[in-house]
Amino acid sequence: MPLFKFAISKKDRDSGARLGRLETAHGGVDTPVFMAVGTQGTVKGMTPRQLSDCGVGMVLGNTYHLMLRPGSERIAQLGGLHRFMAWDGPILTDSGGFQVFSLADLTKRDDRGVTFRSHIDGDLIRLDPERSMKVQRDLGSDVVMAFDDCTPYPADHAATRASMALTHRWADHSLNYFQGGHQSLFGIVQGGMYADLRDASVRELCAKPFAGFAVGGLSVGEPKELMYPILRHTAPQLPEDKPRYLMGVGTPADLVNAVSAGIDMFDCVMPTRNARNGYAFTSEGPVSIKQAAHKDSDLPLDPNCDCYTCTRFTRAYLNHIYRAGEILASVLMTLHNLSFYQNLMANMRRAIAADRFPAFKEQILQVYGARDILDYTLPDNATIEAHARNVEDHPSCG
């Protein structure tokens, strides 16, 4: 019996939303699912028990960071990432490609991989599909991501096509070096903001034996006017019987819009990072707890939330400890934001099951002042390239 299974139990009749179940060697999660980001083998400020109490069922680990510190070989010697971080649920690890794109001082990219300087100590590091697969094998995650080239934004059509071709070559190498076992390997579709390139990437990658597929290269600085229509164009083309993962996205509005396009899996640092900066997501919209308006408030952070933070502490207290610089402020805000995101996903699943997902989506979009993904039309390539040139000439426009 395979250790990795994915099954769709219901499809929304009025959108692309899907209700499903993902099973791994370390348990299963219902989809759509939001994974908490544990970059360094920890979701910042949270114990594994707190994560479970928030409703988190699956976490993401970061290949790039764990490779550099403490090192994947050390984690393997200590029993793998599950044991190392005391998390017994499913773990997905990214390939390291995005972090090379966003953090490292890139010195060389070639057909086989990248050479870059560590952001920690400046050492010269080589990362390629073979090493990415080796590191993720050492970590022992349940879902492994193929090594890819994350296309920056803005990028013209020719540069995007060349970047996509690298991703396709590295996908083949990743498959060659992947050893299976309890792990499953996902491919990553690239192609930037260009529909013809996304089509080509889908055709190329979906012909390969990946267990699931991610839509990469979004939320890298592009406006919603480009992100939403290219996502809506790409997601429905991915295989119906395999999980679809949107990497690094996003806001509550992003999540409901992407689910309506057929996405099953998400990760993003937004709920935890925003929490540490004093921002909460609530059923009534965003709340900045550091604002003076909350210093005398005996209201909970979210009157419709039953998390530990909202059932025990007032906005006045949260305002006080945040302004005092207490660590507990980040902990309590993170507890709430993760609970909110998990409740959001659970409510989406219930809405899909009850054939009322479009109404639920509209409610979230109204609360967060966002537009429906259906309102956006994908521009032609000439318009996208012109916009990219404008961003390059005037970076503040991005």
| 217 annotated as belonging to a binding site for a ligand | yes
User: Is residue 270 within 8 Å of residue 359, measured between CB atoms?
Assistant: no
| 98 annotated as belonging to a binding site for a ligand | yes
| 97 annotated as belonging to a binding site for a ligand | yes
| 95 annotated as belonging to a binding site for a ligand | yes
| Cis amide prior to 250 (ω within 30 degrees) | yes
* Active-site hit among 12, 142, 264, 267: 267
199 in active site: no
| 307 annotated as belonging to a binding site for a ligand | yes
Backbone angles phi, psi at 285, to 5 degrees: 110, 180
Which residues face 11 on adjacent strands?
18
| 94 annotated as belonging to a binding site for a ligand | yes
Supply 58's token pair: 């699956």
| 310 annotated as belonging to a binding site for a ligand | yes
User: Is residue 96 within 8 Å of residue 63, measured between CB atoms?
Assistant: yes
| 79 annotated as belonging to a binding site for a ligand | no
94 in active site: yes
* Active-site hit among 94, 128, 149, 254: 94
Residue type, 47: T
| Cis amide prior to 90 (ω within 30 degrees) | no
User: Is residue 265 within 8 Å of residue 355, measured between CB atoms?
Assistant: no
| 313 annotated as belonging to a binding site for a ligand | no
Q: What angle do CA 358, 259, 345 make, to 5 degrees?
A: 90
| 148 annotated as belonging to a binding site for a ligand | yes
Burial call 64-91: b when 16+ CB within 10 Å, e when fewer: bbbbbeeebeebbeeebbbebbebebbb
Catalytic residue ranges? 94, 267
List residues forming the annotated binding site. Answer: 94-98, 148, 190, 217, 305, 307, 310, 336
List residues forming the annotated binding site for Zn(2+). Answer: 305, 307, 310, 336
List residues forming the annotated binding site for substrate. Answer: 94-98, 148, 190, 217
